[in-house]
Amino acid sequence: MRIIRGKYGRRRFDVPRNITARPTTDFARENIFNVLENMRDFDGCSALDLFAGTGAISLEFLSRGCEKVVAVEMAATQANFIRSVKQKLNADGLTVLKTDVFRFLETCSEQFDFIFADPPYDHPRFAEIPRLILESRMLKPGTVVVIEHNKTHDFSSLPGFLQHRAYGSVNFSIFEIGELEQ
């Protein structure tokens, strides 16, 4: 795994062979982060990485200037790998939570500037995830939400939908939360 840009840019880490995650490709990750950086400055922002897998997205947010990043991952192997990379980088701004994403979505009231979700494409509750995030208490005006998915999903009818991006077989739906209505 490679961190693409920022203060940890070009650092590489060997992912354990027994990780079951499907990491976002470097090509797709680089392109989606270019889009996000053109939307907003990351400096001092907070980000949430749901279904964090190898932690590549979390580390990219942190490397590019986010002050606080929370990585939520249920699988012990993946969570432990993210923790080991955090330790190697001395990345105090990264919090790793080994917990169920659905339980986390129900209980979290902390608000974030960015929320990224990359659930397993074959997850039985995959189609619910964008709605659960968009209806959560974790949003504030200006929050950018990114859902990674395959081409069979279309989330363009959900509130706040901004754009769809595809990089090879990796698709992203991007949402931006507008100002709260009075």
The CATH number covering residue 38 comes to: 3.40.50.150
pLDDT, average across residues 31-35:
97
pLDDT score recorded for residue 179: 66
Mean pLDDT of the chain: 94
Report residue 182's pLDDT band, with 50, 70 and 90 as the boundaries: very low
Total Cβ atoms within 10 A of residue 93: 17
pLDDT, average across residues 27-52:
96
In a domain, 108, yes or no: yes
In a domain, 9, yes or no: no
In a domain, 181, yes or no: no
Domain that holds residue 141: 26-176
The three-class DSSP label of residue 168 is coil
Higher pLDDT, 181 or 166: 166
Residue that the structure tokens 């923790």 belong to: 83
pLDDT over 90, % of the chain = 86
Q: Report the domain count for the chain.
A: 1
pTM of the full structure: 0.94
Residues pairing with 97 in the sheet = 72
Q: What angle do CA 40, 115, 86 make, to 5 degrees?
A: 95
Total Cβ atoms within 10 A of residue 113: 20
In a domain, 114, yes or no: yes
